[in-house]
């Protein structure tokens, strides 16, 4: 597993397919601030709440100069269903081999109900205009996390 990212680290580059199969690269957002968040699975209660929170606050975040990209190991087809069902406006991209999640240390050992397994660690990263990490949040809660980011960023 990768080392956890810290403020000042260069954000790992990625190019992944979105819900429509179009490629989305972190490099496409150079010169803008980007919130990159990793979530375990589309169409699950916690991930739905988190994605809806980002969608509900997208205008506020965009107005402050932030783009939002959600990354999960789901297929583009499942992401399209998720987007349609929940009327999501955030960019959702697919990382089925979890390589990008691994590069952000957002894939690793998790514990749930006494069982240990490998999975996506719900994590959020704020990337500045120069492609460096300004904030790294690991093991975040699905509920209330977007409000915390907005507060931490002073938006």
Q: Active-site residue numbers? A: 47
Burial class (CB in 10 A: 0-12, 13-18, 19+), 33: middle
Contacts of residue 119, Cβ cutoff 8 Å, sequence gap at least 6: 40, 107, 108, 110
**Nearest C-alpha neighbor of 137 from the set 32, 151, 48:** 151
Query: CA neighbours within 13 Å on the CB side: how many for 30?
Result: 7
Q: Describe the chain by its helix, strand, coil percentages, rounded to 5.
A: 30, 30, 40
């Amino acid at each position: 597993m990768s080392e956890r990212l810290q403020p000042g680290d260069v954000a790992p580059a990625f190019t992944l397919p979105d819900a429509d199969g179009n490629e989305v690269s972190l490099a496409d957002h150079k010169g803008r601030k980007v919130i990159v968040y990793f979530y375990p699975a589309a169409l699950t209660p916690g991930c739905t709440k988190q994605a809806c929170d980002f969608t509900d606050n997208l205008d506020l975040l965009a107005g402050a100069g932030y783009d939002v990209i959600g990354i999960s190991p789901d297929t583009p087809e499942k992401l399209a269903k998720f987007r349609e069902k929940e009327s999501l406006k955030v960019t959702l991209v697919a990382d089925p081999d979890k390589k990008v999640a691994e590069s952000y240390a957002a894939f690793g050992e998790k514990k749930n109900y006494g069982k240990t397994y490998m999975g996506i660690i719900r994590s959020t990263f704020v990337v500045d205009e120069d492609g460096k990490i300004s904030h790294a949040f690991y093991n975040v809660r699905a509920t209330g996390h977007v409000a915390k980011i907005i507060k931490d960023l002073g938006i």
